[in-house]
Amino acid sequence: MTLVVPARAKLNLDLAVLAHTDDGYHEVRTHIQAVALHDLLELARADRTTMITTGPNRLDPENNSVRKAHQALEAETGRELPTAFHLDKRIPRGSGMGGASSDAAAALKALAALHNVRADLTKIAAGIGADVPFFLNGGAALAEGRGERLTTLPTELAWFAIAWPDIELSTAAVYRAWDEVKGNGPNELSDAAEHVEPRVRDFAARLGEGWQMTGSGSAFFVRCRDERSARQAVLKIDGWTAVTHSVGPWA
């Protein structure tokens, strides 16, 4: 049996950093919306585990979030789950759209189905990364704490234009910069991202008014009236762009 599953991206519609905790992490409050833009993960049972990555944003096949999710599920179940993976990577890395976390969540759910595994996937997901539990169900949610405390919200149909400056930002580096420069506005990590990489500031200036950074960057988005407006918004932007829409929870 072969499974093919989308690993969808997310946008942070706002993001407030509330505190720097004693254990070195940060507490946040953010409204997250899943969107149709996605990586594509194919899995099949195999004699041994292998992984192929394709696409313009391909990963190291030996060291990525899919393999981490696979190893975590094997550790939880106490048995090997030999799987052939093929990940077509479409969401840019280091863009703040949650591609790695979504890949991990998609892998957990698909592996559980493929190998008939019963396990607490939410617990495992939280151990992989703060955003991974959100991607187990998607839709819209208010995320608090490190991002693991989720309150499900209704999904409203919305279209978005997205632009990425081909700059891969480290989430950890951006949060460390926040400790120094703090921030304000709808995404309080924006100033920190620009501090880490000044080209992000230049890119934001070229995009103009209305565009907002998602997550810890470096992608920006603007909400549009409809698909046509979203396509118009990206027409004159050089580089990677996407037009996408909100999606509700998945099974």
- For the chain, the distance separating the N- and C-terminal CA atoms, rounded to the nearest angstrom, is 19
List the one residue out of 127, 141, 85 whose CA is nearest residue 110. 85
State how beta strands 50-54 and 83-88 pair.
parallel
- Structure-token pair, residue 100: 């790695």
18 φ/ψ angles, rounded to the nearest 5 degrees: -95, -35
Angle at 183 between CA 178 and CA 189, to 5 degrees: 60
Active site residue 10: yes
For residue 196, give the amino acid letter: V
Considering 88, 103, 131, 191, which one is annotated as catalytic? 131
Active site residue 131: yes
Q: Are 183 and 191 in contact (CB under 8 A)?
A: yes
Q: Which residue, chain included where needed, has tokens 């400056």? A: 165
Considering 10, 68, 89, 109, which one is annotated as catalytic? 10
List the one residue out of 112, 117, 91 whose CA is nearest residue 103. 91
CA distance 66 to 30: 25
Q: CB neighbours (10 Å) of residue 39?
A: 24
By annotation, the residues acting in catalysis are 10, 131
